[in-house]
């Protein structure tokens, strides 16, 4: 079976929005949305308080996102939920009131599509919440509830809130706020499949699936793919699996996963032993410091792990709502964040920015990484400029989207690779050391023919290239990266 993934994803640049903290603005007829107790926007975020960000605010920011250059928006959950992150779903068919309800969503989807953005939503289909109607009925009616078999009830009485007593039902990682679905129940299965279909029919462009590895029912994700692709063959299905996802990337389930292994390898090379150990994400453990040779080995193993068609639709990232910000992992070193971002935008797969990374937001473990998007006077303008530049370069050179990947040089703290597509070739080089690197590449087997003895144009960064006696000579300043086209 030939594997087919959505073409548009290969050329996209994603921007991940955490709605509660990104932007807030309401029309006069929904003024009540801000007439409730909310956290101060600039105060440190908390686990239970709300900033009050909403979809009207996102609409207001679309021009900013268009100017940045991103082309696809991934929203963490927006369905009705009693949590600021909304991973506690209460109604899969209702947009959360604080976000502006269905009116705001419909306007957002139309405006985003009109401006050329794709929109994918977060599907929390492994578990629901205590407030989800079908589970709440069990809490109210006990063994008389018609929905008993929708969940995994183990005994009576249920204790949904008091930790002094056993919960008596299966929940995600034993967190009683999140009762786990019984995915072997045909009713549960059909309910989730119809939710997936419904929002695609409303116009969304795909699903990001929360903890899909926790769903053990045989054939569940194969059926989900069939049902989703029947509605929209170009819909994107991306799973949240932090480690080896090979069993889900067989072409019959997901188009890609959140590529935390790429982020983990890149941190190991770029940050190395400069890592702030207090902020290391659990997705990065065990953390390994890498030289260029170790990074090249890890990257080549990662690229060999999945079919190329899948690799081109992996969702590559350095951080997310579930990790500290990469800038904070790097101890606030903005040069390290810049080097890592260069690798993010030149690696096969689609790059994903977590909101605010492009303006230098810092943040440690949950919920600190979910700060309110700051006013413009607090932006790192240099970071914004290089993000815009890298996004435009990626759009300009299709080799960065779908071209083959070849390691050219990897020694010490210098890593060089090429991206090739037809007659288009680029060299990307990173010097992570404290001294200027002068590199001579004499092994022409490692240099794609399209690049050999050709004049090159420096399109990003600092440094120089020269061909001399059939060898490639590169000079790269310390802690600097470059792109030669």
- Residue among 205, 240, 322, 413 flagged as catalytic: 240
Q: How far apart are CA 122 and CA 95, in angstroms?
A: 12
**210 catalytic residue (yes or no):** yes
Q: How far apart are CA 239 and CA 287, in angstroms?
A: 22
- Residue among 96, 205, 210, 380 flagged as catalytic: 210
pTM here is 0.97
Q: Which CATH number fits domain 7-126+181-396: 3.90.180.10, 3.60.20.10, 3.20.20.80, 3.30.360.10?
A: 3.20.20.80
**285 catalytic residue (yes or no):** no
- pLDDT at residue 410, as a whole number: 97
Q: How far apart are CA 65 and CA 270, in angstroms?
A: 27
Instruction: Look up residue 285 and give its two tokens.
Output: 């453990």
What is the per-residue pLDDT across 433-446, written as a single tens digit (0 to 9) for each? 999 999 998 876 77
At the top level of CATH, the class of 402-484 is mainly beta
3-state secondary structure the chain: CCCCCCHHHHCCCEEEECHHHHCCCCCHHHHHHHCCCCCCCCCCCCCCCCCCCCHHHHHHHHHHHHHHCCCEEEECCCEEECCCCCCCEEEEEEECHHHCHHHHHHHHHHHHHHCCCEEEEEECCCECCCCCHHHHHHHHHHHHCCCHHHECECCCCCCCCCCCCCCCECEHHHCCCCEEECCCCHHHHHHHHHHHHHHHHHCCCEEEECCHHHCCCCCHHHHHHHHHHHHCCCCEEEECCCCCCHHHCCCCCCCEEEEHHHHHHHHHHHCHHHCCHHHCCHHHCCCCCCCHHHHHHHHHHHHHHCCHHHHCCCEECCCCCCCCCHHHHCCCCHHHHHHHHHHHHHCCCEEEEECCHHHCCCCCCCCHHHCCCCCHHHCCHHHHHHHHHHHHHHHHCCHHHHCEEEEEEEECCEEEEEEEECCEEEEEEEECCCCCEEEEECCHHHCCHHHCCCCCCEEEECCEEEEECCEEEEEECCCEEEEEC
Residues 345/390, Cβ–Cβ less than 8 Å: yes
Q: How far apart are CA 340 and CA 350, in angstroms?
A: 15
Which residue stretches of the chain have pLDDT < 70?
444
Per-domain residue ranges for the chain?
7-126+181-396, 402-484
What is the per-residue pLDDT across 230-275, written as a single tens digit (0 to 9) for each? 999 999 999 999 999 999 999 999 999 999 999 999 999 999 999 9
């Amino acid at each position: 079976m030939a594997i087919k993934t959505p073409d548009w994803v290969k050329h996209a640049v994603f921007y991940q929005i955490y709605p509660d903290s990104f932007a807030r603005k309401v029309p006069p007829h929904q003024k009540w949305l801000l007439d409730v107790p909310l956290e101060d926007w600039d105060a440190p975020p908390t686990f239970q308080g709300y900033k009050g960000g909403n979809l009207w605010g996102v609409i207001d920011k679309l021009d900013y996102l268009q100017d940045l250059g991103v082309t696809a928006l991934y929203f963490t959950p927006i369905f009705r939920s009693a949590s600021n992150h909304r991973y506690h779903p209460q109604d899969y068919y209702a947009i959360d009131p604080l976000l502006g309800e269905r009116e705001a969503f419909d306007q957002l989807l139309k405006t985003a599509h009109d401006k050329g953005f794709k929109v994918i939503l977060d599907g929390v289909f492994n578990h629901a919440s205590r407030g989800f109607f079908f589970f709440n009925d069990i809490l109210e009616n006990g063994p008389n509830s018609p929905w008993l078999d929708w969940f995994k009830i183990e005994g009576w009485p249920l204790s949904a809130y008091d930790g002094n007593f056993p919960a008596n039902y299966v929940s995600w990682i034993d967190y009683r706020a999140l009762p786990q679905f019984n995915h072997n129940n045909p009713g549960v299965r059909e309910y989730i499949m119809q939710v997936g279909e419904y929002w695609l029919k409303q116009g969304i462009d795909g699903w990001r699936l929360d903890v899909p590895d926790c769903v053990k029912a045989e054939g569940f994700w194969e059926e989900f793919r069939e049902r989703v692709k029947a509605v929209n063959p170009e819909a994107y299905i991306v799973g949240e699996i932090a480690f080896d996802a090979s069993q889900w990337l067989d072409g019959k389930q997901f188009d890609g996963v959140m590529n935390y292994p790429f982020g983990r390898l890149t941190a190991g090379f770029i940050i190395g032993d400069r890592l702030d150990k207090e902020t290391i994400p659990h997705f990065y453990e065990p953390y390994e410091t890498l030289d260029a040779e170790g990074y090249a080995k890890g990257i080549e193993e990662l690229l060999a792990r999945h079919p190329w068609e899948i690799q081109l639709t992996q969702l590559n990232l350095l951080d997310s709502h579930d990790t500290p910000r990469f800038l904070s992992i790097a101890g606030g070193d903005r040069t390290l964040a810049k080097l890592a971002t260069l690798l993010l935008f030149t690696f096969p797969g689609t790059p994903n920015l977590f909101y605010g990374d492009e303006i230098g937001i810092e943040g440690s473990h949950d919920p600190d990484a979910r700060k309110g998007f700051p006013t413009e006077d607090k932006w790192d303008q240099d970071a914004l400029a290089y993000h815009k530049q890298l996004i435009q370069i990626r759009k300009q050179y299709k080799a960065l989207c779908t071209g083959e990947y070849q390691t050219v040089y990897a020694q010490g703290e210098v890593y060089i690779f090429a991206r090739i597509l037809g007659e288009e070739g680029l060299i990307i080089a990173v010097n992570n050391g404290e001294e200027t690197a002068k590199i001579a590449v004499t092994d022409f087997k490692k240099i794609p023919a399209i690049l050999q003895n050709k004049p090159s144009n420096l399109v990003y960064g600092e440094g120089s290239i020269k061909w001399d006696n059939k060898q490639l000579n590169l000079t790269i300043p310390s802690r600097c990266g470059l792109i030669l086209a």
